[in-house]
Amino acid sequence: MSIEILEDTSTDVDLDIPWEIVLYNDDHTEFFVVIAALIDACKHSEDMAIKIAVEAHKRGKSIADCGDKDEMQKRKDKLQNYGLTVELQQV
């Protein structure tokens, strides 16, 4: 009896790995718009939205949200509709 060893050569993205939305600071979006967008798109509390907005303002970027790819894509698109500069990246 022989044992055959198979090498996994798949390149599919693992959908179980979380994705995150990165919010970048910009010089044109009013602070209250950023907070309202985070509350609406990401379902954050006002306090959390303020913390994320302040971090993006001070550090240049902040993690706005994380989760599965499909949901994060929807939320990223919604944030972009508010005029925010965001990107989706795999953690």
Neighbouring residues of 87: CB distance < 8 A, sequence distance ≥ 6: 21, 22, 24, 76
b/e burial code for range 5-33 (CB count within 10 A of at least 16 → b): eeeeeeeeeeeeeebbbbbebeeebeeee
Is the pLDDT confidence value at 11 over 60? no
Q: Is 50 exposed, middle or buried (CB count within 10 Å of its CB: 0-12, 13-18, 19+)?
A: middle
Q: Is 64 exposed, middle or buried (CB count within 10 Å of its CB: 0-12, 13-18, 19+)?
A: buried
2 pLDDT tier (thresholds 50, 70, 90): low
Two structure tokens written together for 58: 């001070």
Task: Note the pLDDT of residue 27.
Answer: 87
17 pLDDT tier (thresholds 50, 70, 90): confident
Taking alpha carbons only, the member of 29, 31, 24 closest to residue 76 is 24
Mind listing the pLDDT tens digit for each residue in 37-87?
A: 999 999 999 999 999 999 999 999 999 999 999 999 999 999 999 999 999
